[in-house]
């Protein structure tokens, strides 16, 4: 009955338009009343303890770093560098969008921020060159969801805290599949770009390229500092987020000289709003997560899926399919916060590597950012491209298909994640 209350309360609350965080709190109240545990003090303590986590401090700092990079010109110079290298080949702006997405993913960790930054710069250029706008919009949206996979990843921080899994291991494990996501997009773009009749820009010459490389050098250096520092144990993920902010301030303010005091204040304001939204979700989910544990819902799920425990790959496949479906109607943060405490006991019993599962889980939720009706990243890209959601859905369809294919490959071959992780360790 507790499971019915959990699913019913959450479903009804979201169906009537209640924000996810408040839906989680309403569901928690219903569960507490049914279980005879209602106590405002318990509710307040659970919310406070859920948000009172040192690793979670990395979220506002990484979000602030992303805002400062955009305001300070780092994002712009990365896109300029890639377009100068690839803009003269057939479909070159598409390849530039993919490479820029991979590089930007290693800077901010936010799919929405990366999509907005790259889309604002490249979609107008692709439209002017004659590219199919829905297809170009879909490509940039698909590139944007690489951000939750390549470190620094906000999604991995949230999953690591919720599942009690090493965030550093999650960061390192995300490097290889994140690059593979980019390569898969290149492969499908080679195929679909044959239909493009866009004009190709002239080769700008080595002098111009050298100028772009020199201008973008400081921006490209940042992911090397962050990943290298994590790999060699120089700093923790939370300390890395502070380093990212300091580096963005230094490069944007001193090297590029584009960060004014006004821009810094605006960046702080934007990061504060996003951080408050995420942290309130984390706090609300902590209450529900505690009640899920008290009600022993994970063990109920273990009983339902017991036949699959003996076949771990089939179990992972079923979970990935479930997450893909849920991702169509729910954003990735609540998906991670709600499902992680339910699924992790099952994953441990089945003997599945929690870091490997975390990467697949976050990848599946990232793909959900592209699928209607919610599709937050697709919505952002469509807004920038000035097209309808229906047009965007058609444009992004081949890229979603290829990312799902990659997910299936990683389910079948865990070594593609685990072997690079061992090397990076």
Using one digit for the tens of pLDDT, what is the confidence trace for 214-245?
Answer: 888 888 888 888 878 887 888 888 898 899 99
14 in a structural domain: no
Q: Is pLDDT above 70 for 198? A: no
Long-range contacts of residues 304-309, Cβ cutoff 8 Å, at least 24 apart = 305/346, 308/350, 309/346, 309/349, 309/350
132 in a structural domain: yes
Burial label, 39 (beta-carbon count in 10 A; 0-12, 13-18, 19+): exposed
* Contact call for residues 328 and 364 (beta carbons, < 8 A): no
50 in a structural domain: yes
12 in a structural domain: no
User: CB neighbours of 309 closer than 8 A, spacing ≥ 6?
Assistant: 302, 315, 346, 349, 350
1 in a structural domain: no
Sign of the torsion formed by the C-alpha atoms of 282, 152, 138 and 406 = negative
Q: What is the pLDDT of residue 246?
A: 93
Residue 393 CA to its chain's centroid (Å): 19
What is the count of structural domains for the chain? Answer: 1
406 in a structural domain: yes
Predicted confidence band of residue 364 (pLDDT cuts 50, 70, 90): very high
Q: What is the mean pLDDT of residues 155-180?
A: 93
6 in a structural domain: no
- What pLDDT digit, counting tens, does each position of 386-424 carry? 898 889 999 999 999 999 999 999 999 999 999 999 988
Q: What is the mean pLDDT of residues 298-320?
A: 81
Report the distance separating Cα 216 and Cα 65, nearest Å: 17
Predicted confidence band of residue 172 (pLDDT cuts 50, 70, 90): very high
Range name among 27-41, 133-147, 198-212, 250-264 with the lowest pLDDT average: 198-212
- What pLDDT digit, counting tens, does each position of 25-71 carry? 888 888 888 888 777 887 888 888 878 888 888 889 988 988 898 88
Which structural domain range is residue 331 located in? 39-424
Report the distance separating Cα 338 and Cα 330, nearest Å: 11
244 in a structural domain: yes
Q: What is the mean pLDDT of residues 195-218?
A: 74
Predicted confidence band of residue 196 (pLDDT cuts 50, 70, 90): low
Q: What is the pLDDT of residue 345?
A: 85
Q: Is pLDDT above 70 for 199? A: no
Which residue did the predictor score with more confidence, 96 or 303? 96
Report the distance separating Cα 231 and Cα 236, nearest Å: 10
Q: What is the pLDDT of residue 289?
A: 79
Most confident of 67-76, 99-108, 288-297, 357-366: 357-366
Predicted confidence band of residue 87 (pLDDT cuts 50, 70, 90): low
Which residue did the predictor score with more confidence, 20 or 299? 20
Residue 392 CA to its chain's centroid (Å): 19
**Residue of 383, 204, 407 lying closest to 319 (CA atoms):** 407
Q: Is pLDDT above 70 for 200? A: no
Q: What is the pLDDT of residue 283?
A: 87
Q: What is the mean pLDDT of residues 7-20?
A: 79
Q: Is pLDDT above 90 for 84? A: no
Predicted confidence band of residue 100 (pLDDT cuts 50, 70, 90): confident
């Amino acid at each position: 009955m507790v499971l019915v209350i959990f699913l019913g309360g959450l479903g009804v609350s979201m169906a009537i338009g209640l924000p996810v965080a408040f839906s989680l709190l309403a569901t928690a109240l219903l569960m507490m009343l049914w279980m005879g545990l209602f106590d405002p003090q318990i509710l307040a303590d659970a919310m406070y303890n859920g948000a009172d986590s040192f690793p979670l401090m990395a979220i506002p700092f990484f979000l602030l770093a992303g805002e400062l990079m955009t305001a300070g010109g780092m994002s712009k110079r990365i896109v300029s560098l890639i377009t100068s290298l690839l803009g003269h080949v057939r479909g070159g702006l598409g390849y530039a969008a993919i490479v820029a997405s991979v590089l930007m993913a290693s800077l901010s960790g936010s799919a929405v921020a990366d999509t907005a930054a790259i889309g604002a710069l490249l979609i107008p250029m692709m439209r002017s060159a004659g590219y199919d706008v829905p297809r170009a919009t879909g490509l940039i949206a698909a590139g944007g969801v690489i951000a939750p996979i390549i470190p620094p990843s906000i999604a991995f921080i949230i999953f690591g805290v919720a599942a009690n899994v090493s965030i550093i291991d999650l960061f390192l494990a995300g490097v290889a599949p994140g690059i593979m996501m980019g390569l898969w997009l290149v492969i499908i773009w080679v195929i679909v770009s044959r239909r493009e009749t866009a004009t190709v820009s002239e080769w700008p010459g080595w002098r111009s390229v050298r100028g772009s490389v020199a201008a973008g050098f400081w921006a490209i250096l940042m992911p090397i500092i962050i990943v290298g520092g994590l790999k060699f144990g120089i700093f923790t993920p939370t300390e890395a987020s502070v380093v990212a902010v300091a580096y963005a301030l230094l490069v944007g303010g001193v090297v590029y000289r584009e960060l004014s005091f006004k821009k810094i204040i605006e960046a702080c304001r934007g990061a504060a709003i996003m951080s408050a939204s995420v942290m309130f979700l984390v706090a609300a989910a902590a209450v529900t997560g505690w009640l899920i544990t008290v009600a022993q819902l994970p063990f109920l799920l273990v009983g339902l899926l017991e036949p699959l425990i003996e076949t771990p790959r089939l179990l992972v496949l079923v979970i990935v399919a479930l997450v893909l479906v849920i991702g169509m109607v729910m954003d990735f943060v609540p998906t991670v916060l709600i499902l992680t405490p339910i699924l992790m006991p099952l994953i441990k019993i089945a003997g599945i590597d929690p870091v490997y599962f975390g990467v697949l889980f976050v990848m599946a939720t990232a793909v959900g950012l592209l699928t209607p009706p919610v599709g937050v990243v697709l919505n952002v890209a469509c807004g920038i491209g000035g097209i309808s959601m229906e047009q965007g859905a058609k444009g992004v369809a081949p890229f979603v298909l290829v990312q799902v294919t990659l997910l299936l490959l990683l389910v079948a071959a865990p070594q593609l994640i685990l072997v690079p992780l061992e090397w990076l360790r």
